[in-house]
Amino acid sequence: MIKAFTYRTELGEKEFSQTIYANSITDSIKNWIDHINDLKNEVYSFDQKSVKSIETQFENGKIKLQQNPNILVYELNDKYQITYINEHKELEPDFIAELEFMTTENGGSKNYAYSGYRPIFKLTDKKEMTSANLIFNEKQKVFPGDRTVTLINILWTEEFENLLYPKLEFELLEPPRMIAKGKIIEVLNKKLNKASR
């Protein structure tokens, strides 16, 4: 079962925080390094030089995971650096779905979506919408035009009680545009399951 891991790094007067989804803490480390590589030079993440240093140390087995508490220890700017890892409880998705992301040419996003992406969820025949948290089961990043199986939690579950069932189609939006079409494979939250009514 997939868990959420929060990586928190205090670097000088700055603090960086990233949420990573993985099956285990050891799996999450590589995903975290991939993530900070994608975000290098953003104001809320590491700079390019620091990311390269972290990647090199990871490849050479020099980054150490210490547990209780969970921390990564490595060198940055000729000093030891610590990143704290908080492990959260296992995620309990509301349903599993197959998603088809629209291509950029067909109105989809210009950028990839990362596991933890939160678009708007809408059933094709209802006007009500809510925020959805997408955890990609097969890969960390999904690009425009990709298909993938996804674990999904929705924020406003009360509005969708007893409405979801396998093969039900829905849309994911970055209003006003639709960025993905979805089809439910399995409903895991019994309150949402139409069959349990």
Residue 196, pLDDT score: 53
Q: Which phi and psi (to 5°) does residue 37 adopt?
A: -65, -40
Query: Above 70 in pLDDT, residue 197?
Result: no
The answer to whether the CB of 47 falls within 8 A of the CB of 41 is yes
**Token pair for residue 67?**
């547990």
Tokens 């399951």 label which residue?
193
Model pTM score: 0.81
Decide if 154 contacts 94 (C-beta within 8 A). Answer: yes
**pLDDT for residue 117 is more than 70:** yes
For residue 163, the SS3 value is: coil
**Confidence label for 62 from pLDDT (cuts 50, 70 and 90):** very high
